[in-house]
Amino acid sequence: MEIPFLDLRTQYLELKEEIDYAVAKVLNSGWYILGKECNEFESEFKKYLVDDNEGYVIGVNSGTDALKLSLLAAGVGHGDEVITVANTAIPTATAICSIGAIPVFCDVDPKTWLINPDLIEASITRKTKCIIPVHLYGAACNLEPLLNVAQRYGLSVIEDVAQATGADYLGRKCGTIGDFGAFSFYPSKNLGANGDGGAVFVRKSAQRDLLRMLRNYGQSSRYSADIQGGENSRLDEIQAAILRIKLRHLNRWNKKRFELSRYYREGFKVSGLDLSLQEEYKGTSSANHLFVVKSNRDIRDRLIHKMSERGIQTLIHYPYPLYLQPAFKRYIRIKNESSEELCASILSLPFHQYLRLDEIDYVIKTMRECINEI
Ligand SMILES: *Cc1c(COP(=O)(O)O)cnc(C)c1O
């Protein structure tokens, strides 16, 4: 059996009629940037996140830009330090470095694989301005102690919620709890566009106004250049129209992800395999973006190879801590033992909302056979 890691085409085919119609409608409207679809998506997504509570969504061009513009809006600049983790997607650090700020890597909790709030204080210096917790694989970070530290030191908090659209933290949606929530609509994300897209969530209208300028050359209105440091980073009308359709299915898809992830977990429990899985903090529920297992560093690479020989595609999210990557190695300060251990021993199994139970059975069975052979 061939089991690809991901299946984005099926998602398109499920909604083909609606999506094709919406795209044609935008094309026919003659209005392609910052129009009705983007406005409507922003208010519908805001409603999804916080219902009628105060808050604003600003559509931007990508998750990377959502982080970058949030940093700018938070007043982070050249030489300022931003605390985040080393086991995350490259764009978390790309965004920090793009404005001349310095990423400082804090180790993770070995059980939840997420930023360890107890270690943050030790990473703070006079230059620290901001913390970016990453809700990795869809699981919610332990925000309360993190927010306490941030408050004590006057730091802003930008949630990197690229992988966790729909995750909950103590009854609230991730991305709405820090000062900024940076969302990505990269095609493979839980809410994915058919191209690039992203959004920032903020609670205050002053921040909303600032972000609207930052995404649009620094203009408050046409031909009025109000602030420096603006970008061209807009969520285009076609992607916004598609996202409006997909948003209506997000809860159902996330529920499916939850069920499939539970099925995987049960399957591993009875398989007796010596693997560990990501634990969730109490009171949180993951958006189950990826299904990642931790094997061990002696067998991980051989396991991946053997599984691929049998048609099962796996990936590693992520193979290196960021401070060992050429682009970021100048930022190394301390070794993050838990992050490094994860990078060397994890693998991500095929996972998406259209995966069938018999495919999961096959993945687990194959994995058992491959481990026995090693
Ligand atoms: C996908 C992702 C991003 C970047 O999103 P883009 O839309 O691809 O720019 C940032 N952080 C994390 C953790 C991600 O997974």
Question: If you compute the radius of gyration of the chain from its CA atoms, what whole number of angstroms results?
Answer: 21
Cite the DSSP H helix spans in the chain.
Answer: 8-14, 16-29, 36-50, 63-73, 90-98, 120-123, 143-153, 205-214, 237-247, 250-271, 300-309, 337-345, 357-373
Q: SS3 of 139, please?
A: coil
Q: Choose one of 135, 163, 215 to mutate for the ligand 1 pocket test, by most ligand atoms within 8 angstroms of C-beta.
A: 163
Residues with CB under 6 A from ligand 1: 62-64, 88-89, 91-92, 134, 160, 162-163, 184, 186, 196, 198
Q: What pLDDT score was predicted for residue 225?
A: 87
Q: SS3 of 238, please?
A: helix
Mean per-residue pLDDT for 209-213?
97
Neighbours of 325 (CB within 10 A): 15
Q: SS3 of 369, please?
A: helix
Reference 200, options 305, 58, 86; nearest CA is 58
State residue 82 phi and psi, 5-degree precision. -125, 120
Cα gap 314→304, rounded to integer Å: 7
Above 90 in pLDDT, residue 40? Answer: yes
Place of tokens 């913390």: 131
Residue 157's alpha-carbon distances to 102, 148, 161, 233, in angstroms, are 15, 11, 12, 21
Distance 91 CA to ligand 1 centre (A): 6
Distance 221 CA to ligand 1 centre (A): 29
Q: Please give the residue that has the higher pLDDT: either 155 or 272.
A: 155
Place of tokens 């085409």: 9
Per the confidence metrics, is the pTM higher than 0.95?
A: yes
Q: SS3 of 18, please?
A: helix
Nearest CA to ligand 1 atom 1: 162
Burial call 231-263: b when 16+ CB within 10 Å, e when fewer: bebbbbbbbbbbbbebbebbeebbebbbebbeb
Distance 374 CA to ligand 1 centre (A): 34
Q: What pLDDT score was predicted for residue 55?
A: 98
Cα gap 91→113, rounded to integer Å: 18
Query: What's the pLDDT tens digit per position in 97-149?
Result: 999 999 999 999 999 999 999 999 999 999 999 999 999 999 999 999 999 99
